[in-house]
Structure 1
Amino acid sequence: MTAIHIQGLGTYVPERRITNVDLMSRVDTNDEWIVSRTGIKARHMLAEDENGSDAAAKAALCALEDAGIEAGEITHVLAATCTPDYLCPSTACILSGKIGSHGAAAFDLNAACTGFIYGLETARGLLAAAPDAKILLVGTEAFTRRLNWNDRTTCILFGDGAAAVVLTNGEAGRPRKRLPAAARLRDVRCGADGRQYALLTVGGGTARDYRPGDPVQDDFYLQMQGREVYKLAVRSLSAVCEEILERNGLTLDDIDLFIPHQANLRIIEAVGDRLKLAADKIFVNLDEYGNTSAASIPLGIGDACAQARILPGSRVLLSAFGGGFTWGAALLEF
């Protein structure tokens, strides 16, 4: 197996932008309360006629253009999401039809907010087994469709969006529009603790035996035990970052930029403090998007590139945590 590279990147956020002030008309909250506790100032919401697969398709087509690869050349379509259009068929199958990747293997990954990192690990395994594969990996979420707007502790946190990458074996290749250079995927580490699954759930599956005409219950929507999630998130993010660095003979001094999952500014700051990482090395964009779950990390890569926070030669550390309870980290070299 030769070096695995991210050859193209594409992002999409819905046009509809919901500020904290906008939320005051539908939930008992205010801008100061939200910003002080989360760092979030706005989030984006899908239009009524838009689904997660539509957002994924827009991001995917941009990534394919960036990579200089036609949809028909893609061999695998992976969709990281915990808010799929349907339980069946997969969002990846719907996506492949929308972009024209007919005949490509297509399936979803659900590791919640860690989905993109899990997707990188899955792509790495597929490329080891099939070195000529061309893989489209998309993180896409429609989380505003699964929020209880009567619960001000959770409905303020999440937004919708999608981002996609194309991964192949081989050389870095041609120049790109959205990446300063093709990014080599140096390593990925993933973990989970299923004993903690009840800390963060989104209903709609078969654990509840709904019958035609039954009203949905609160567990149909996102439910989260915030304090426990915070403690586990800080511990798991810090530990997996230290693990992947040690495994690769690196220290935080070797890292040019850290892109953590954008869930809550307090979590990001606590992880930075625990790792003793300078604030100017930590990328934050959750003030604009909120928590976009599996789309969070690739949206961060896109914004960091657009802001010239990632340059040729940059070494970037990614890390995420999510429901399950899941966690993961990845190392990119541009």
Structure 2
Amino acid sequence: MENLTMGAPLKQPIVFELVGFDVPPGQGPFLFFLALCAYTVVLLGNGVVICVIVMDRNLHRPMFVMICHLVVCDLLGATAVLPHLMMHFLTGQKNIFYLSAIAQGFCVHTYGAAMQTILGVMAYDRYIAVCEPLRYHSIMTSARLHSCCALAWIVALLLIAGLFSFHINLPYCSRIIQHVYCSNKIMMNLACAPTPVSNIYGLVITWTVSTSMFIFIALSYIRILQAAFKQGRTDSSVRSKALQTCATHFIVYVVYEVTTLIIVVSYRFPSTSQNMKKFLGMLFIIAPPAINPIIYGLVSKELRTSIFQQFSTRTCRKN
């Protein structure tokens, strides 16, 4: 017992202070309620979409399978941040353990990367559907569909795993995270020594994924528009149908890019308050997951019809 007592002290777990929002006294419960409402909207909207697609065999087609992957991606991003934020508002607790911080940052970055790679796969699917309609079913087979979706997730997960591998045994000289959620860049800024390799790697994968997906999606839509207007010369309904099949994907991509751009622009204005910057940073996590189910339902007539049928059928059974 004496030897154990005199031995080296146990290594204390690393605990960060996640500052979050500057909450005025007495406003915590109200902000908790707002965060709870936002998370409920995300869960209900995306939950309805994924349940209806799973239950309706008519929707077991590539476009809707990919929408399911987008739903999972949206839920990953929102769940990584909002529950912890709600606890912060309700209890005032700011501490977050090292592994929890790494897990949160990993999920947030994976959400951002996977969203882009999945949207890239959807662009490929829409390109085949419009430009090669007669060969669509032979090209986009079930095996190829699941392979493309798996590849989108694998690429995102491997790139982000590489990014967070730089945190292994990294000494931190500060434990205060001046943000609402953990991210690689913010945590790297707390390191005792410069981390140029991590910074370069982060910039390279961010630029590569964002730029390559933007170019790929843009080229796909150029070809889609060319094919749609070419087909529309003989039958305008064909052009309308072709453009409608791409509307969901295009709007979701625009919403994601706009919320990301808002964050980038907000940090270029020093006069923007910290609370405002943090709030705009939350748009990236809340807006796409909350808005996307509405986009799926409004733009996709098949999904909207299936939702109404599922709910009306269950209501009739209860009566």
* TM-score where L is the length of structure 2: 0.29
Higher Rg of the two aligned structures = 2
Query: Which protein has the bigger helix share?
Result: 2
* TM-score where L is the length of structure 1: 0.28
